[in-house]
Amino acid sequence: MRSFKYILSVGLLALSASCSNFLDVKPLESISDAQTIFDKSSAETALRGVYSALSNGGYYGTTFQSIGYLSGDNIQWTGSQSQVQEFINKKINPENSTISGAWTAIYRTINRANNVIDKVPIVKDPLLTEALKNQIVGEAYFIRALSYFDLARTWGGVPLITKPTANPTENSGVKRSTQAETYALVLKDLETAESLLPSTTDRYRATRKTVWALRSRLHLYLKEWAKADEYASKLISDTNYKLLKPYSSFFANDARGTQESVFEIFYSANEQNSHRGQWQPQTNGGTRQWAPNDALVALLNDPKVGGGRSALVAKDNQNRWYGNLYYRTPATDPSYVFRIAELYLIRAEARANLDKITDGLADLNAIRDRASIDLSTASTKEELLLDIENERRLEFALEPHRWFDIVRTGRATPVFNITDQNRLLLPIPVGEIQIDKALTQNPGY
């Protein structure tokens, strides 16, 4: 059913065990809530269900990510569905099925995380050690934090559901919290996760380091510059992470889990990433329904601006440009949630706002050097921030950052020509409003 209030805990997937990779498993069946989490094996199964929801096509598989770049100024829509063109035009309607799909997928992820958070701590199984129990619960807290962060930056304040949904009417009447309250829950969950998770390096599962990445991004959004700098620095100073040369090293030639990656979502032949088909042309088995626009192609192919990032685009047999970040057959391309490049640019922006121009410039130029372009000579705060904005546009050209970057920096009017500030938040899906009258619509819709 459409509303998150109808996404029940029976949706947790039972996945087969795997010795080689925790996440490289195939869904087998659904199991009842009474059986979901009662021992070590079922606790791990439930956690895999949380990751499966995160990787779903409605969330980081395709739909949510598409909101981040279709709403920007890098991508064109080549299909015929008007609801996708709404993002390009920056005029999204509450009836839009993309926002409905993303909303539902994110709350499904939250509900699965809530099941783990609620039930794993009380499991009595000698095989489920305290350390393993803490790790499982900590990962669920991180994924819930990421989910609410994505809801808050997309829709503003949302209903905060922190217990498993056990029946269709349980959460009826829960009003929206403010955006500030939603971000506060994100921070609280991250603090809890940080205390529970190990400080190991894992590019596919949440650890304390993954928490630091999201904390750095969260503090950037909240304009808490010193904190953004602090948490970015924890990762930049870690020798397990580094900028790779050339730029394409983190994704080309079937690369995955490289030192560039802080957290990427794992896909396999059993659970594929639906993103690929939207980008690749028909000759490669895709639909090319979204493609780099002329402006982005020109920037990426300019050696003085795009440098090595020209690897993000290619031409098909009809001489049309297409995005080539997702290209594998079968579609096992990772979805990149955090790369070390983002932490460099977060720290650069934070330091610029702290008037640490020299330090911020050094971080920006680390990115430019990796892209094989000339170093920036920005000498003022304003020049440096603009250079960082432009660098982020190309560094994450086919990743879901551009729309959120321009909105959070208050630059939507000069960059996107948006004069109606109500359009900076998406509308609550109309189906949610119809189901629960306690939900109020965002202004302007």
pLDDT greater than 60 at residue 159:
yes
Question: 34 φ, ψ to 5°?
Answer: -65, -20
Token readout for 157 is 């304040």
CA distances from 168 to 3, 53, 219 (A): 9, 19, 35
Count of CB atoms situated within 10 Å of the CB of 54: 24
Query: pLDDT tens digit string along 61-116?
Result: 999 999 999 999 999 999 877 889 999 999 999 999 999 999 999 999 999 999 99
pLDDT greater than 80 at residue 221:
yes
Q: What is the pLDDT of residue 30?
A: 37
Q: What is the pLDDT of residue 7?
A: 39
Rounded CA separation 162/155 (Å): 18
Output the CA angle 118-182-52, nearest 5 degrees: 50
Query: pLDDT tens digit string along 340-395?
Result: 999 999 999 999 999 999 999 999 999 999 999 999 999 999 999 999 999 999 99
Q: Which spans in 127-207 are helix H?
A: 130-155, 179-196
Task: Give the whole-number percent of the chain exceeding pLDDT 70.
Answer: 92
Q: What is the pLDDT of residue 386?
A: 98
pLDDT greater than 60 at residue 32:
no
SS3 (DSSP) at 265 = strand
Domains and CATH numbers, the chain: 1-197+416-445 (1.25.40.390), 225-409 (1.25.40.390)
SS3 (DSSP) at 170 = coil
Single out the residue of 15, 21, 8 nearest to residue 46, CA to CA: 15
Whether the CB-CB separation of 50 and 87 falls below 8 Å is answered with: no
Whether the CB-CB separation of 418 and 424 falls below 8 Å is answered with: yes
User: pLDDT confidence of 20, banded at 50, 70, 90?
Assistant: very low
Q: What is the pLDDT of residue 35?
A: 58
User: Which pTM was predicted?
Assistant: 0.94
Dihedral of CA 378/382/387/388: which sign? positive
What secondary structure letter does DSSP report for 98? H
Whether the CB-CB separation of 161 and 111 falls below 8 Å is answered with: yes
Q: What is the pLDDT of residue 93?
A: 97
Whether the CB-CB separation of 295 and 285 falls below 8 Å is answered with: no
338 vs 80, more confident:
338
pLDDT greater than 60 at residue 308:
yes
Query: Among 14-18, 135-139, 207-211, 375-379, which is the least confidently predicted range?
Result: 14-18
Q: What would the mean pLDDT of 414-421 be, rounded to a whole number?
A: 96
Instruction: Name the helix (H) or strand (E) containing 384.
Output: helix 381-395
CA distances from 34 to 39, 115, 119, 168, 417 (A): 12, 11, 11, 17, 53
What is the secondary structure of 268-313 as a DSSP string?
-SSS--THHHHHS-GGGT----EEE-HHHHHHHT-TTTTGGGGGGE
CB-count burial class (<10 Å; 0-12, 13-18, 19+) for 269: exposed
User: pLDDT confidence of 15, banded at 50, 70, 90?
Assistant: very low
User: pLDDT confidence of 168, banded at 50, 70, 90?
Assistant: low
Q: What would the mean pLDDT of 167-184 be, rounded to a whole number?
A: 89
Rounded CA separation 142/360 (Å): 28
Q: How many CA atoms lie within 13 A of 360 on its CB side?
A: 28
